[in-house]
Amino acid sequence: MSSIFTKIINREIPSDIVFENESIIVIKDIFPKAKIHLLIIPKKEIATINDLQETDKELLFDMFSIAKKLAQDLQITEGYQLHFNVGPKGWQEVMHIHLHLMSDL
Ligand code: AMP
């Protein structure tokens, strides 16, 4: 079964998309926990950080590079938070990895 983020990627459900390339999509979090709250999501369905493989190295680098670029574009390089929740007991609700980018600047 595809994740809610795959449904967003496939335009089966709407979302506020702020960036997209061939391997990554960035959306606004529907329930923002900061002034800026974006989710950087690989199009490849990887359930949790525990499922990462050596071959995902470039994808992870690209996710962080996009986070850095967005922070520059949004003029929040002075302070922002990047985090992954990992597993249901690590506050992960959607089992499709995503990097939270948050800032109150
Ligand atoms: P996590 O707890 O790390 O799995 O984070 C999942 C995040 O996805 C939460 O911050 C939710 O608010 C957000 N979220 C869930 N459904 C949607 C949606 N349809 N569009 C945008 N964000 C969503």
Task: Please give the number of the atom of ligand 1 that sits closest to the Cα of 95.
Answer: 4
Report whether 94 contacts 48 (CB < 8 A): no
What's the CA-to-centroid distance between 58 and ligand 1, angstroms? 24
Ligand 1, closest atom to CA 33?
Answer: 10
* Ligand 1, atom 3: closest residue by C-alpha: 92
Question: Which pLDDT belongs to residue 1?
Answer: 78
47-63 pLDDT, tens per residue? Answer: 999 999 999 999 999 99
Q: 27 phi and psi, to 5 degrees?
A: -125, 160
Structural domains in the chain, CATH included, are 4-103 (3.30.428.10)
Q: What is the pLDDT of residues 4-15, one digit of tens each?
A: 999 999 999 999
pLDDT digits over 22-34, tens only?
A: 999 999 999 999 9
User: What distance in angstroms lies between residue 39's CA and the mean position of ligand 1's atoms?
Assistant: 8
Contact present, 38 and 70 (Cβ < 8 Å) = yes
| % of residues, the chain, pLDDT over 70 | 100
